[in-house]
Amino acid sequence: MSLRVARSIAALRRYVTAARSRGQKIGFVPTMGALHEGHLSLVRRARKDNACVVVSIFVNPLQFGPQEDYRRYPRTLARDRTMLADACDCLFVPDARQMYGPEFRTHVEVQGWSDVWCGESRPGHFRGVATVVAKLFNIVQPDQAYFGHKDIQQALLIRRMSEDLSFPVKIRILPTVREPDGLAMSSRNAYLSHEHRQQATVISRALDEAVKTVREGNRDAEVVIGRVRQRLRQASEASVEYIGIMDPVTLDKVRMVERSSILLLAVRFGNTRLIDNCVLGES
Ligand code: PAF
């Protein structure tokens, strides 16, 4: 199997039209590159479920705020391409001019979900994500698309958008892939200093603490969050942006934890912002 690289929307469309005419289902994994095992787990699952697998790499300027890391976001195309060589059929790498022409004006917003949790400190971020994913879905027209649980607000928001706008695509949300010491895999982990990388393992321990607290019979969200805060204090450099517990259907804050409730958090180590989450009813 040789990896086909499509650099234009037209080339990608020709590729998927041909695959479809052979009766193949299309699985799609949108990424911003700097691939790691978390991305590869999505690609492998897409491979299992579909005869044709498309991965996109596009660092989407619309989802970065003016003070954020768009310029320094890791771009490792040659390495990514090698990692994907035997894993997918087609790699789509459009450039920003193709995706957003000079007259571009149209955005997609999932009202009420774009400015909560991570959206509170990242105005415009989820509007940028929804817009690019809607556009990618229109280009690739996948049967199934794959997202990681680590970015749970993003994954749920994309599922909401797809249902609301009747995209004929199934959104699959797959488990977070972790380093052996528990840190959730993320392209941004590369920014961490040695000291911060070591301290960041406190996040997964704090999530374990939350699950344990619920298992012991505590369902009061404030109690669970209090335990998580306490655990995070063990890392002197951790600065909590938010910790909360939400309902996965409404994204509303919950006061009493249910089996499906999700604890989510954002923590900074220096300039690096890390996010993670866990379903509280799961062990
Ligand atoms: O999760 C990401 O890498 C990005 O937000 C996505 C979904 C590829 C949209 O740019």
* Contacts with 125 (C-beta within 8 Å, 6 or more apart), sequence order: 63, 64, 65, 114, 118, 119
Active site residue 39: yes
Domains and CATH numbers, the chain: 4-174 (3.40.50.620), 187-277 (3.30.1300.10)
283 residues of the chain, pLDDT tens digit each: 689 999 999 999 999 999 999 999 999 999 999 999 999 999 999 999 999 999 999 999 999 999 999 999 999 999 999 999 999 999 999 999 999 999 999 999 999 999 999 999 999 999 999 999 999 999 999 999 999 999 999 999 999 999 999 999 999 999 999 999 999 999 999 999 999 999 999 999 999 999 999 999 999 999 999 999 999 999 999 999 999 999 999 999 999 999 999 999 999 999 999 999 999 986 5
User: Is the CB–ligand 1 distance for residue 133 below 6 Å?
Assistant: yes
**Does the Cβ of 151 fall within 6 Å of ligand 1?**
yes
DSSP 131-160: HHHHHHHHHH--SEEEEEGGGHHHHHHHHH
Query: Ligand 1 centre and the CA of 11: distance in Å?
Result: 21
- Is the Cβ atom of 204 under 6 angstroms away from ligand 1? no
Instruction: Give the closest residue (by CA) to ligand 1 atom 6.
Output: 31
CA–centroid distance, residue 62 to ligand 1 (Å)? 11
pTM: 0.98
CA of 220 to the centre of ligand 1 (A): 33
Task: Compute the distance between CA of residue 191 and CA of residue 198 in angstroms, rounded to an integer.
Answer: 13
Please tell me if the CB atom of residue 132 comes closer than 6 angstroms to any atom of ligand 1: yes
